[in-house]
Amino acid sequence: MPRALSTLTLPVLLIVSTLPVAAQSPPPPDPPAVVAQADATLRKAPDLVRVSVATEVRDGKAAEARRKSAEAMTAVQAAIKAVGLAPDAIQTSGFSLTPEMEYSGGKPSVKNYVVRNQIDVRVDDLDKLADVIDAANSPKNVIITVGNPRFELKAREAAELEAVAAAVRTARARAQAMATGAGQTLGPVLKIQQGQVYVTSPASPTFRAGMPLAARGGGGDASMTEPVRTETPITPGELEIHAQVTLTIAIR
């Protein structure tokens, strides 16, 4: 008879080999260093100014108020352009038509419609600013507001970079003083961090105008006299460019 086949089951051993984990070396210590902070302020005369000019008219009819406003602003812009500004120097910045309400017997009704039109005027030559303000006040029989002059620098970015460089030089000088006091010498710069960089300007006056100023004199109807041509004095002052930096410099 054939011999029966027998199955031999052998135990399987699972051998897990663990390789030694390389020891992690601690990070190297930070090199000795000094940290110096500095602010720099540069002062420069502005060479550009933006000013807001607004007209305001009232009428019992909305369409008539809008027409009067259009005529007033057209006259204002024509007078300002005659000063000799760039073609793109005038930009509309606001327009509104709102009812002026009154109450009688507890019932509201529209007394007038008020139209306000505002433009921003860029003046690239500060010598023309007084002329622009006076020209804006030349149209008659309309309320005109001239205000919020914003003095600026045409090359603002270059001025800011100059202030940053000055702040870095000051911070390095301070780091040198600290290193010398500690009996050390300065090594390479490890880190430079820029803080705030901003420009501040003098407080901006506001000029409000209505009818041209009448000549002062001896009696009579002031409205029948010729207006006095008095140029508006402007003192732009200086702009301040501020920069803050922090330096980290190795010492040895």
Two tokens, residue 19:
């390789």
Convert 92-125 to b/e letters by CB count within 10 Å (16 or more is b). eeeeeeeeeeeeeeeeeeeebbbbbbbbbbbbee
The predicted-structure confidence for 12-49, as pLDDT tens digits, reads as follows 555 555 555 556 778 888 889 999 999 999 999 999 99
At 189-230, the pLDDT tens digits run 999 999 999 999 866 554 544 433 332 233 333 333 444 555
Q: Where are the domains of the chain?
A: 30-46+154-210+234-252, 48-152
Where is pLDDT greater, at 232 or 94?
A: 94
By three-state DSSP, how is residue 48 classified?
strand
- pLDDT for residue 24: 75
pLDDT of residue 168: 98
In this prediction, residue 236 has a pLDDT band, given cuts at 50, 70 and 90, of confident
φ and ψ at residue 183, rounded to 5 degrees: 70, 30
Within 10 angstroms of residue 164's Cβ, the number of other Cβ atoms is 19
pLDDT at 5: 46
**Separation CA 202–CA 152 (nearest Å):** 11
Residue written as tokens 């290193």?
Answer: 179
Q: Which CATH number fits domain 48-152: 3.30.70.2970, 3.40.50.720, 3.90.1150.200, 3.40.50.620?
A: 3.30.70.2970
Residue 232 pLDDT exceeds 90: no
Q: How many CA atoms does the CB half-sphere of 241 hold within 13 Å?
A: 20
User: What pTM value is reported for the model?
Assistant: 0.70
Q: Could you tell me which residues come within 8 angstroms of residue 106 by beta carbon, excluding any fewer than 6 positions away? A: none
Q: What is the pLDDT of residues 145-191, one digit of tens each?
A: 998 899 999 999 999 999 999 999 999 999 999 999 999 999 999 99
Question: To which CATH superfamily is domain 30-46+154-210+234-252 assigned?
Answer: Protein of unknown function (DUF541), domain 1 (3.30.110.170)
At residue 74, the pLDDT reads: 95
Enumerate the H helices of the chain as residue ranges: 62-81, 129-136, 156-181
Element holding 179 (H helix, E strand) = helix 156-181
pLDDT in tens, 89-125: 999 999 999 999 999 888 999 999 999 999 999 999 9
